């Protein structure tokens, strides 16, 4: 069986939807867990995009690579951050809140050593993506209890805090500062981030929910 197929292939659709019957049968029949569509997206990429933590756990048990990169360089962690909006109705097990499903998916990937430092072909890591889009929930998942560098810069030389400030995501900026992000980091050919802050003069005065 080939390890690549057209975009939107059955294994990816099933993994996204949490269709255990199809995926288990596929794997037991010898289908490769690394099976990818034409975009390079594996079943694990698809499962986490659908916040399917139980599906993701199954795939990891079959040795799915938690740091596999698609043709855009995105890892499953990148895909989970990009999947900010609740997936289509009906893809969760009965009784599970969507936000809890996403939390458990983050927890699984990070527990299984998903590498937060990997950058995609646009030169951004998962934390950069979360800060750019103003996804405070994802920022909290990536920074609480895991070794993620707040000072890593994208290929453009911008930190996560820089993206949060430039895109006026106040809550994200406040949280990152409280978590220890440096306000003295400089933008490429620009001023220190401190000079762009309008909500605080002292880092200790920034308040945020925890």
What are the tens digits of pLDDT across the range 35-76?
999 999 999 999 999 999 999 999 999 999 999 999 999 999
pLDDT at res. 146 = 74
Instruction: Say if residues 44 and 13 touch (Cβ distance below 8 Å).
Output: no
Where residue 178 falls among pLDDT bands split at 50, 70, 90?
very high
CA atoms of 160 and 139, how far apart (whole Å): 9
| Six token digits for residue 96 | 């599970």
Which value, to the nearest 10 degrees, does the dihedral of the CA atoms of residues 141, 114, 131, 119 take?
180
Higher local confidence (pLDDT), 133 or 94: 133
What share of the chain in percent tops pLDDT 90? 73
Please report which helix (H) or strand (E) contains residue 57, including its range. helix 53-61
pLDDT for 87 equals 85
CB atoms closer than 10 angstroms to residue 198: 9
Task: List beta partners, residue 192.
Answer: 186
* Lookup result for tokens 């390890």: 3
Would you call 76 helix, strand, or coil by DSSP? helix
Region 96-110 average pLDDT: 93
pLDDT over threshold 90, residue 202: no
In this prediction, residue 89 carries a pLDDT of 57
Which residues on adjacent β-strands are paired with residue 4?
A: 36
Within a 10 A sphere around the Cβ of 37, how many other Cβ atoms?
22
Q: Is the pLDDT of residue 206 over 60?
A: no
Q: Say if residues 119 and 73 touch (Cβ distance below 8 Å).
A: yes
């Amino acid at each position: 069986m080939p390890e690549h197929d057209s975009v939107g292939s059955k294994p990816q659709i099933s993994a996204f939807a949490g269709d255990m019957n199809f995926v288990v049968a596929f794997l037991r029949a010898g289908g490769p867990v690394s099976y990818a569509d034409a975009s390079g997206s594996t079943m694990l990429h698809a499962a986490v995009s659908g916040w399917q933590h139980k599906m993701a756990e199954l795939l990891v048990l079959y040795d799915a690579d938690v740091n596999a990169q698609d043709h855009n360089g995105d890892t499953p962690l990148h895909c989970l951050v990009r999947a900010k909006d609740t997936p289509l109705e009906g893809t969760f097990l009965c009784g599970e809140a969507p936000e809890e499903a996403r939390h458990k998916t983050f927890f699984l990937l990070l527990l299984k050593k998903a590498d937060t430092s990997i950058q995609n072909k646009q030169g951004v890591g998962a934390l950069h993506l979360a800060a750019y889009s103003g996804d405070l929930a994802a920022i909290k998942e990536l920074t609480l209890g895991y070794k993620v560098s707040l000072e890593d810069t994208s290929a453009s030389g911008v930190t996560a805090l820089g993206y949060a400030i430039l895109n006026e995501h106040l809550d994200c900026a406040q949280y990152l500062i409280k978590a220890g992000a440096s306000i003295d980091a400089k933008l490429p050919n620009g001023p220190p981030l401190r000079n762009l802050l309008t909500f605080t003069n002292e880092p200790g005065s920034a308040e945020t929910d925890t």
